[in-house]
Chains A and B, each alone.
Chain A
Amino acid sequence: MAVNDITDGYALPCGRGLENLWARLQAGDWLVNQDEHERNCPHCQAAGGSLRMLNEATRQLADEPVAPRPALTDRIMSAVRAEARRGEMVPLPTRGGPIGVSEQAIAVVLRFAADGVPGVRARRCTVRTRSVDKQGSGVIDVELSLALRYGVGPAEQILAEVRARVAAAAAVVVGIRVDRCDLRLEDLYP
């Protein structure tokens, strides 16, 4: 076999290269396909033995069943929730007086509504107050990016359904009117 060694300077005392030996070990070639020199060279044999052990130990390290303590997720998430981004407030009149609903909270409702259409996953949803109507209620513009399941059906029909559900959710769940609803089909998922 061709020995094309010493590309990296890690040569054994006999002149053969360690990286070449490693590559052949990885390919399963080393054990079955040694040349005359390699079979009789103590340096090559010792290096082969060490690398096989390293290979085995590396595999064990990669599969090592270590994990952070289960409490870490909660620690991370309470720090995250402490800095939740809420966005601007959209005015909403109620019988008890006007209140504000955060754009972030409205986005949650609208994404959930879009997710309800089969084969649709809502991604980014931006809510902006466009104006305030005569009753003092904010009118919003929505930008929503989506991923569709591959082969789910004609996009046009599905996007129309998403638009309808988003408007309905805004009206029924929040009590607010959507003026503009820009949908962006961003991706397909299997």
Chain B
Amino acid sequence: MGDAGWDDATLVARAGDGDAHAFERLVVRYQRSMYRLALRMLGDAGDAEDVVQEVFLAAWRGLPELRTDAAFVGWLYRMTTNRCLNALRARRPTTELQPDSARSRRVDVQPERATEISSELAALTTALDGLTASQRACWLLREAHGRSYEEIAAILGTSSTAVRGRIARARAQLAEAMQPWR
């Protein structure tokens, strides 16, 4: 396996067969996307890494049963999203439908990077706190990860109409929150 450009389907098939090297290629290829999602969902770098580790371990265990090798990335997104939603529920068991302003926000940023974060991005990450967990999941999957409405609906076990509605609502709320920084 000298070539880094191996297709996902081959790597997934081999990993499902117990080939740990093939699985490691998949980890290297997708851990950053899953981490970015978890980081913005949870607002905490350590919690985000824990979720990513759990997701890949669950993937390793579940791979032999994965029906189509092409479904792998969607499956990772689904596991990551659901674990983040569970983690948020566990933090505040009684206020699931409330906006997430109470979640901890400890995103570790390299000091040299801190100054490069624009005021727009800072405003957006703060505004994301004001969304509900499921709105934030929908919005991030669509706008930061480029997933389709249908995929997001499958990930969250809802309809694509509901997903469109949540994203529209999230966008209206985020746009409103952006205003003071104009």
Contact = CB atoms under 8 A, between A and B. Distances in A.
Interface in B109-150: 109, 113, 118, 120-121, 123-125, 143-146
Contacts of A80: 20, 23-24, 56-57, 60
B120 A57 contact: yes
Chain B, interface size: which category?
35 or more
A68 B36 CA distance: 8
Contact of A68 (B18, B49, B165): B49
Interface in A105-119: 107-108, 111, 115
A86 B20 CA distance: 11
Interface stretch (A29-37, A89-97, A121-129): A121-129
Interface stretch (B75-83, B86-94, B174-182): B174-182
Contact of A115 (B1, B24, B61, B176): B1
A66 B64 CA distance: 31
A73 B35 CA distance: 12
Interface residues of A, number: 53
A11 to B, nearest CB: 10
Contact of B143 (A49, A62, A87): A62
B168 A54 contact: no
A18 B172 contact: yes
Nearest to A10: B172
A57 B118 CA distance: 8
Given A22-B171, A80-B20, A123 B49 contact: no
A162 B146 CA distance: 40
B53 A75 contact: yes
A88 interface: no
A107 B120 contact: no
Contacts of A68: 31-32, 35, 45, 48-49, 52
B70 to A, nearest CB: 10
A58 B64 CA distance: 37
B178 A53 contact: yes
B61 A83 contact: yes
B103 interface: no
A187 interface: yes
A124 B16 contact: yes
13 contacts: A19-B171, A49-B179, A50-B182, A61-B40, A62-B146, A68-B35, A68-B48, A72-B49, A81-B20, A121-B6, A123-B9, A123-B13, A124-B13
Interface of B: 1, 6-7, 9-10, 13-14, 16-20, 23-24, 27-28, 31-32, 35-36, 39-40, 45, 48-49, 52-53, 56-57, 60-61, 64, 69, 107, 109, 113, 118, 120-121, 123-125, 143-146, 164-165, 168-169, 171-172, 174-176, 178-179, 181-182
